[in-house]
């Protein structure tokens, strides 16, 4: 028979399992070209528009958490230089192809703002890492000094040195966590610096490509994505498909007694 003391750890395990089972997978969201026949390129359904020697192509690429990434290409065959700025790219969520069902038109996520925020976050993380390691390093030293004094006075026991070991383990774990956080920021900076579509001047006969990101609106049935450059507007309607995922078997099943 379990005593009240032995029941407590078991209760913690069951509670943790129950809480873990409450999480459900986020829905999968995909965009497909609407009202047009797409051209398939490497598994991606691509659509194109052309005006006055400027050609724009777009395709849905992937879902990234709460955002959707689309691949955009712009090619300049006009006689003038073309300044392409994603700050002029927008999107409009709609309930259907009927304009009356559309919500507000919003700008796509600005890569320059994201990069500025990541730079600030990186700077703060580095400063916090230095301060945290300084504090934990001091704890290690203080515990080591206390252990040395305890040994010197002959009062050492089986627990002598435990404080130093705990402080050293905390410092090591903190350093690993800080390094992991900084590595994550670096990976995000690489994506937004090298893969996102950023402001570019296109000379005649030149092109540029990159990703743009828009926040997910689960209520939208149609998402219009607009590219504006040199006074020209290119609009692409996409049908949004949302798939609700069932909980995993471990989450759906009640904990065993």
Domain boundary among 192, 208, 225: 192
pLDDT at 232: 94
Q: pLDDT per residue over 102-152, tens digit each?
A: 999 999 999 999 999 999 999 998 888 888 888 877 877 887 778 777 777
Confidence of residue 21 (pLDDT cuts 50, 70, 90): low
**Whether 34 and 106 share a structural domain:** yes
Confidence of residue 11 (pLDDT cuts 50, 70, 90): very low
Confidence of residue 217 (pLDDT cuts 50, 70, 90): very high
**Whether 176 and 225 share a structural domain:** no
How much is the mean pLDDT over the chain? 85
Structural domain for 152, as ranges: 114-192
Q: pLDDT per residue over 163-205, tens digit each?
A: 788 878 888 888 888 888 889 999 889 989 999 999 999 999 9
Give the C-alpha separation, 37 to 124, whole Å.
Answer: 48
**Whether 217 and 93 share a structural domain:** yes
Question: Closest Cα to residue 127, out of 192, 170, 193, 182?
Answer: 182
**Whether 86 and 123 share a structural domain:** no
pLDDT at 151: 79
pLDDT at 14: 44
Query: Which CATH number does the domain housing residue 211 bear?
Result: 2.60.40.10
Question: Closest Cα to residue 95, out of 197, 219, 234, 216?
Answer: 219
pLDDT at 250: 54
Confidence of residue 12 (pLDDT cuts 50, 70, 90): very low
**Whether 45 and 98 share a structural domain:** yes
**Whether 44 and 56 share a structural domain:** yes
**Whether 38 and 103 share a structural domain:** yes
Tokens of 121: 């976050």
Return left, alpha or beta for 236; rule: phi > 0 is left, psi -120 to 50 is alpha, else beta: beta
Residue 11 lies in a domain: no
Give the C-alpha separation, 220 to 34, whole Å.
Answer: 13
pLDDT at 221 over 90: yes
pLDDT at 4: 43
Strands 106-107 and 200-202: unpaired
């Amino acid at each position: 028979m379990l005593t009240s003391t032995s029941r407590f750890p078991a209760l913690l395990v069951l509670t943790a399992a129950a809480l873990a089972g409450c999480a459900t997978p986020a829905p999968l969201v995909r965009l497909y070209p609407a009202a047009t026949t797409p051209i398939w390129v490497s598994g991606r359904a691509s659509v194109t528009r052309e005006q006055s020697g400027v050609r724009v192509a777009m395709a849905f690429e992937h879902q990234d958490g709460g955002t959707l990434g689309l691949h955009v290409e712009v090619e300049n065959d006009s006689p003038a230089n073309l300044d392409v700025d994603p700050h002029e790219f927008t999107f409009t969520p709609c309930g259907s192809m009927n304009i009356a069902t559309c919500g507000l038109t919003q700008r796509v996520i600005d890569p320059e703002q994201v990069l500025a925020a990541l730079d600030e976050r990186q700077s703060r993380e580095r400063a916090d890492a230095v301060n945290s390691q300084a504090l934990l390093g001091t704890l290690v030293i203080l515990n080591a000094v206390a252990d040395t004094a305890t040994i010197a006075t002959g009062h050492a026991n089986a627990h002598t040195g435990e404080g130093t070991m705990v402080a050293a383990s905390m410092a090591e774990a903190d350093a690993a966590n800080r390094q992991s956080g900084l590595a994550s920021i670096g990976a995000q900076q690489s994506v937004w610096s090298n893969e996102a579509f950023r402001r570019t001047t296109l000379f005649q006969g030149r092109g540029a490509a990159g990703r743009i990101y828009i926040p997910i609106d689960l209520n939208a049935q149609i998402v219009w994505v607009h590219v504006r450059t040199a006074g020209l507007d290119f609009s692409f309607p996409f049908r949004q498909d949302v798939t609700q995922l069932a909980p995993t078997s471990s989450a759906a099943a009640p904990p065993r007694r």
